[in-house]
């Protein structure tokens, strides 16, 4: 008899764990404030235990807007603990709300210390909904985490039968099931019963990065300034006053801001803040133009503003040298 692979399931709440008022409640289900913990999620999806020996790991049961650095730090520690306690562990699945799922996935992809596959999974419809995507998403995430071919690919995101890279994926729709997309490069693979890969990300990822958050109390403050017509730099100056050590500009494509905003960003760079230019466009790399270079502003490459913020904050834990930070953005 073939032995089932062992997979840890860490529940953090989110839509996947949510119970609405009834089966037609697919939008206002957070009003019930009813979310299942990890073992209850597995009880609701018995098929999950049919394909693997799944270890439920309690963590939190919240909506994902409430998840941030302290949770990332604890998840890094918890993944480390699971691997230490279960030497035969094939992989780890983390259930997560979709609102900040891509940010947690990218943060973990830069900070994990374990080399087993770690897969983040969520759903667009609550567990209680008619035609919920939660059960199959969970089963596919477990399949992916258990698959030997998932090793060495960094943190993965699985929804809608698709496997995405944590660095590249982003949520693109409020309600559609195909919300998670990788605009520039497309999916890594698919889960159609079997786990099949077609490409891999070339950017470096954990384990083995220089970013160790296990003993940090907080990340350096980095804020995102969103560009729009007539933006005058007020947000940039407010972030500086609040003690920001870095600012990410979510600029107009291909990486520009209105003149007053550009002046404020340049002033921030002259004051010693690390300033990184990204774009609000949703895809494409920001070119390091002469104008940006002259102002001391770095390129976020093709990272979304929210992910550029994470990488810049982590970079500031190891260096404040602009050239070194630029190399980090070219590497991760």
Q: Burial of 46 by CB count in 10 Å (0-12 exposed, 13-18 middle, 19+ buried)? A: exposed
Using an 8 Å Cβ cutoff, are 125 and 132 in contact? yes
Q: CA-to-CA distance for 289 and 295, rounded, in angstroms?
A: 10
- DSSP state letters, 127-152: TTSTT-SHHHHHHHHHHHHH-GGGTT
Taking CA 80 as the corner, what is the angle to CA 76 and CA 83, rounded to the nearest 5 degrees?
Answer: 140
Q: Which of 15, 111, 144, 257 is catalytic?
A: 15
Answer yes or no: 15 catalytic: yes
Asked if residue 274 has a cis previous peptide bond (ω within 30° of 0), the answer is no
Taking CA 121 as the corner, what is the angle to CA 112 and CA 111, rounded to the nearest 5 degrees?
Answer: 10
Phi, then psi, of 24 in degrees rounded to 5 = -95, 0
How many other CB atoms are there within 10 angstroms of residue 157's CB atom? 33
How many other CB atoms are there within 10 angstroms of residue 233's CB atom? 21
Sign of CA dihedral 29, 34, 37, 43: negative
Using an 8 Å Cβ cutoff, are 258 and 227 in contact? yes
Catalytic residues: 15
């Amino acid at each position: 008899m073939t032995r089932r692979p062992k997979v840890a399931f860490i529940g953090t709440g989110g839509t996947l764990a949510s119970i609405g008022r009834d089966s037609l409640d697919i939008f206002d289900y957070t009003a019930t404030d009813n979310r299942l913990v990890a073992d209850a999620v597995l009880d609701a999806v018995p098929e999950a235990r049919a394909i693997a020996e799944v270890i439920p790991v309690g963590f939190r049961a919240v909506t994902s807007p409430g998840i941030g650095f302290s949770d990332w730090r604890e998840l890094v520690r918890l993944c480390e603990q699971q691997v230490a306690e279960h030497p035969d562990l094939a992989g780890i699945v983390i259930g997560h709300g979709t609102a900040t799922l891509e940010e947690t996935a990218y943060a973990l992809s830069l900070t994990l210390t374990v080399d087993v596959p770690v897969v983040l999974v969520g759903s667009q419809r609550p567990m209680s909904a008619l035609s919920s995507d939660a059960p199959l998403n969970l089963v596919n995430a477990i399949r992916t985490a258990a698959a030997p071919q998932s090793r060495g690919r960094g943190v993965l995101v699985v929804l809608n039968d698709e496997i995405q890279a944590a660095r590249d994926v982003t949520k693109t729709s409020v309600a559609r099931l195909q919300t998670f997309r990788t605009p520039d490069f497309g999916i890594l693979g698919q889960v159609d019963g079997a786990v099949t890969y077609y490409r891999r990300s070339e950017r470096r990822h954990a384990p083995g990065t220089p970013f160790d958050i296990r003993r940090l109390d907080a990340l350096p403050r980095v804020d995102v300034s969103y560009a729009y017509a007539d933006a005058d730099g007020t947000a940039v100056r407010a972030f500086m006053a609040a003690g920001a050590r870095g600012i990410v500009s979510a600029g107009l494509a291909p990486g520009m801001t209105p003149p007053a905003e550009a002046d404020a960003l340049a002033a921030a760079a002259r004051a010693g803040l690390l300033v990184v230019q990204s774009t609000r466009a949703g895809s494409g790399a920001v070119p390091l133009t002469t104008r940006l270079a002259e102002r001391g502003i770095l390129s976020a490459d093709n990272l979304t503003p929210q992910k550029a913020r994470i990488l810049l904050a982590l970079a500031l834990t190891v260096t404040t040298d602009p050239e070194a930070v630029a190399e980090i953005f070219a590497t991760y």
